[in-house]
Structure 1
Amino acid sequence: MSKRTRIRFIINPTSGTNSRVDVAARIREHLDERKYVHDIMYTTHAGHAPELAHQAANEGIEVVVAVGGDGTVNEVARGLLKTETALAILPKGSGNGLARHLKIPMALEGAMRVINQRNVITIDSGEINQHPFFTTAGIGFDAYISSVFAGNKKRGLQTYVELVMKEVLSYKHLPVKASINGKSLETDCYVMAFANAAQYGNNAYIAPTADIQDGLLDVCLVRRLDLVKALNLSYCMLTKQLANPDSAEYFKTERVTVQTEEDIMYHADGEYLGKAREFEVKMVPLSLKVLVP
């Protein structure tokens, strides 16, 4: 019998809306124990998952599974960057942006089949002010929504959409200075999204042409937003199309710098990180191993 692969599941017990499901029992039910020997750890606080993931990599564990939403996936992936340990995902959140981009099934049984197949690729990651991200980061409106959503007791897609609809036309753009592909740009900024993957989550595609292995950021700049532009942008995000040029502009680049005269909010993978006036966003090519179908 060949040596079994060591795999560790890191579970965020607060992720998802169905907390009654015994995830550990279902993992044991569907894991191919001919291939794997597993253990399970639970996060107890924000910032715990990177520690657990980094510990697993140091122990030489070959696969670490993030069981949770986008925040849990980001934390586990941060702990595995530039190591030989591969990330796997059991989606259990409301957005599941990286899992959806990688075409990992949303149902546990399907995601476990991906794990049992153990097909490993290497993908890019990004950094915004040295904070890693794997799907998207951004400044402006999407970061503002992330800050409001983080403080909301209700979770899920419906709550997120309700917040966007409530705030989208009242949020004000700010002037920024940016450098993209070595060219200076002075512009209004309603939102500037930096995409490694194509979507935020929930199949909302902010950068439909993004390639997670090309070493490039896909930048989506919305200078100003009115009702017509908002409808066009929303339709295109839901249909995986590029928005009209008067609604959004797109760039591909390895690095972006942005300066503002006022503090502006920013996020990474939907996690609100605070405010700043200077930003450096860059790619870290082929820096994370991950299991995919």
Structure 2
Amino acid sequence: MKRLNDLGEFLRSRRAQLRPEQLGLVNHGRRRVAGLRREEVAQLAGVSVAYYTRLEQGLTDRASDAVLDAVARVLQLDEDAHAHLHRLARGSRRDRPRVRRPERLRPSIALMVESFTAAKVPALVIGRSTDVLAWNRLAHGLLAGHLDFDAPNRPADRPNITRMVFLDPHVRELYPDWKRKCRDTVDDLRLVAGRYQDDARLAELVGELSMKSPEFTALWNNHAVKACAYSAREFHHPLVGPLTLANELLVLPDDDGQRLALFHAEPGSPSEAALSLLADLVTSGARPPAVPSPRPSLHPGA
């Protein structure tokens, strides 16, 4: 039933973020609920109120593609959110991903990641639960030089990108716009969780962060979804200072949700010079300085 509860929570969160005027409806004054009413969504989607209520309450998993498409249109879902809706509603089909054993990385992928070092390109592989499965020296130095480089080779000790963003003070200091990084991280994790609804590792991660990070909890409960295939991100690195890097996130074939992350700077820019300096430093064994105590926790938007 958890999948159906997730579906209902997602629909309610999207409905609450719309106002009647956005859909050409007349607002007759004070409303008991934020956003659209269930009957308004049902009417605009062309289904009965009883049917839509059952869908939102998680009492049916037999909604047709046409109905889901109509609901997505009414709720003004973008492409990522539209696909997420279908995954939540279709999780019981035979092609639904099953619970899996700990992730493994093909040796050829590990060699490919290391090969980017010569080009001074930070590269790492992120598993479906956002564990770091491999990184080259430059990615390690960029994102987490304070951690053991060999940690991804030990499944019990693997760094986790999402956990690092919310709980590691070194990583928090790395991002000048930390709140944006948090939003992007959770929006992407929501998409992944919709794809791998039976993954125990993902469920444990969400549970842990919900207990330890109020920032994560607020963002997770918002139910926003967005793929992070590409981003331009600012960094403030403890060894080389400010950088602006483009980040490409590529899905690896036949690896069950594993993604390759690559970072690069604009040619001829100060960021390229800083990245080149970082490459020289990490090969010489330089480590980032100690980070002071974390700054006070703030809810996103505060």
**Which TM-score bucket, shorter chain as reference?**
under 0.3
Highest RCO, 1 vs 2 (Cα 8 Å, sep ≥ 6): 1
Larger radius of gyration: 2
| Structure with greater strand share of residues | 1
Question: When the two structures are superposed, what TM-score results if normalisation uses the length of structure 1?
Answer: 0.28
Question: When the two structures are superposed, what TM-score results if normalisation uses the length of structure 2?
Answer: 0.27
